[in-house]
Amino acid sequence: MPLVSPLLAAPGAVAPPDDHPEQGVPWHWGDPFAEQRTAVRGVAVVDRSHREVLKVTGPERLSWLHLVISQHVIELPEGRGTEALILDSHGRIDTHMVLAHVDGAVHLDSDPGPEATSALPKGGKQRLREYFEAMKFWSQVEIADVSDDLAVLTLLGPDADRVLSALDISLGSEPYAVVPVEGGFARRMPWPGRSSVDLLVPRADLAGWWGRITDAGARPAGTWAFDALRVESLHPRRGVDTDEKAIPHEVNWIGSAAHVAKGCYRGQETVAKVFNVGRPPRRMVLLHLDGSPEIYPETGDPVRLGERVVGRVGSVAQHHELGPIALALLKRSAPVDAELLAGDEDRVVQAAVDPDSVPAEGAAPGREAAARLRG
């Protein structure tokens, strides 16, 4: 069953459309652009309590996780977190998760829903916990789904530490610093935007935490604002910005979520080979979309250069400054200074690659094209 936040019933909360991937939490609170501006200039709080949370305990929790996920965690100290992936045997992305090692346990939270993992190499769907249980063998670990116990709230903005101080939470400034809080923990994140903090709090007191955070000065914001800043930050969402062929190198997850020198995990050979001797066939870029027709492409739509398909549209967002933007996976051969078309059927619009989103080795002029689309 999908996790549904009680805050959806709060005054001002607007639910997402039926086909939106952020089901179960508020999409916005009446003014999504003002919410974004506050998240950039002040402090906002986003209900992300639809995320699924696992808890791994036991004396071999780190050594066992080290063998089954893509990140180097065997020496992950208490009070630290990281990001990691589950890959299939060909190195294609299956699951993305964020970790926190605190109070003798490793918590892993991931995007909601059955599609959050397809850990079986072929056929069917397998939830992350089921995959972990299948890989446990004789290891001294216990795996629990604590999604009904812990809920994720995210603070965004340069004034986030002021709110933390009002809540008597002292959190280090380093990315992925973790500290325990009553019934949960706080974790510093390097995205989206310049300042972000995840609070995993008791789900039974979610409304109480929301009230304390907003009383401390944080403006309620929805997942619309979070996604717009995530897209601007060039951070992908698994299953939206990735397809069944995507590998970590294409979406900026090498290093941050996949360790190139660590062996053992499934898909590691592809990770090491592409990193050492080759280049990925595609790269993720930021597209500026022509918003004048007031139509927008959808996730999965093609990106074309003339009649030739050169990529795939991922997340589409309305940004308070940049206007309509999207993440896209483009073939490496596609010129980044060309005028592209994004979308399908009756939702095709002009698009231009933001040159700042292109890796240095492929950088090319393109700011002029983006400026033309923005008027």
- For every residue of 55-105, DSSP letters joined together read EEESTTHHHHHHHHSSS--TT--TTEEEEEEEE-TTS-EEEEEEEEEETTE
Q: Which of 201, 233, 265 is the last residue of a domain?
A: 233
Residue-range definition of the domain harbouring residue 172? 6-51+148-233
Indicate if 331 and 299 belong to the same structural domain: yes
Sign of CA dihedral 105, 110, 116, 118: negative
Q: Report the domain count for the chain.
A: 3
pLDDT at position 155 is 98
Tell whether 141 and 59 lie within a shared domain.
yes
Tokens 């951070």 belong to which residue?
235
Do residues 95 and 127 both lie within one domain? yes
In a domain, 188, yes or no: yes
In a domain, 371, yes or no: no
Who contacts 135 (Cβ-Cβ below 8 Å, separation ≥6)?
67, 68
Residue 305, in any domain of the structure = yes
- Which tokens go with 127? 């939830």
160 belongs to a structural domain: yes
Q: Is residue 71 located within the same domain as residue 199?
A: no
Q: What is the mean pLDDT of each run of 10 residues along the chain (375 residues)?
A: 90 93 95 98 98 97 96 97 95 96 97 52 62 93 97 98 97 96 97 93 98 98 97 95 95 94 87 87 96 92 97 97 97 94 96 89 40 42
Residues 187 and 76 in one domain: no
What pLDDT was estimated at residue 341? Answer: 97
- The 3-state DSSP class for residue 176 equals coil
* Residue reference for tokens 């965690």: 73
d(CA 51, CA 48): 6
Question: Is 364 contained in some domain?
Answer: no
Can you say how many angstroms the Cα of residue 262 is from the centroid of all Cα atoms in its chain? 23
* Lateral strand order in the sheet of 93-102: 80-87, 93-102, 105-110, 52-57, 142-145
152 and 140 in one domain? no
* Alpha-carbon span 296 to 289, nearest angstrom: 8
pLDDT at 363: 37
Give the residue among 226, 186, 184, 222 at the shortest CA–CA distance from 205. 184
Query: Are 214 and 344 within one domain?
Result: no
Domain match, 300 and 321 both: yes
* Same structural domain, 201 and 226: yes
Task: Read off the tokens for 271.
Answer: 């990770």
Residue 365 within a domain: no
CATH number of the domain enclosing 344: 2.40.30.110
Q: Looking at the structure, do residues 75 and 40 belong to the same domain, yes or no?
A: no
